[in-house]
Amino acid sequence: MNVQPRQKVAPIYAHPNLYQVVNVQNSLRMHQIETSLRNEFAAGGSGELSPIDVWPELWLVDERDRIEAQRLVDEATASALEDWLCNACGEANGGAFEVCWSCGGDRSTPQ
């Protein structure tokens, strides 16, 4: 009897913020990769359970999609925007911000 080793099945993505997980799920769906969302309502169990055990998780419906799905997850969660300095006041701002938190200056305004 020839027994094949079982491939470890694990979630493709997990994050404490449900909206982040759903955003990744939508990115995968746009590429015809179907997923299943688990622990969607498990946050109420934190305290009795380890916090990481109640994080929302995204599981693949078809494990054959794993390589492409992982590439898309990495792409969707990459922080492509670098931190920037405000041209108006010189304050450092995170890459996700389009407006300076200190003076309200626009990120794209030239010096």
Tokens of 102: 């200190």
Cβ count near 88 (within 10 Å): 14
Q: How far is CA 26 from CA 59, 64, 87, in A?
A: 13, 19, 35
What is the chain's Cα-based Rg?
20
Residue 62 per-residue DSSP state = S
Q: What pLDDT is stored for residue 111 in this prediction?
A: 45
Residue 44 per-residue DSSP state = G
Tokens of 26: 């939508």
Quote the strand ranges of the chain, DSSP E. Answer: 13-14, 35-38, 57-60, 84-85, 92-93
Q: What pLDDT is stored for residue 59 in this prediction?
A: 95
In this predicted structure, the answer to whether residue 108 has a pLDDT above a threshold of 70 is yes
d(CA 37, CA 90): 43
Share of the chain above pLDDT 70, in %: 86
In this predicted structure, the answer to whether residue 80 has a pLDDT above a threshold of 60 is no
Tokens of 41: 């309502």
Q: What pLDDT is stored for residue 70 in this prediction?
A: 95
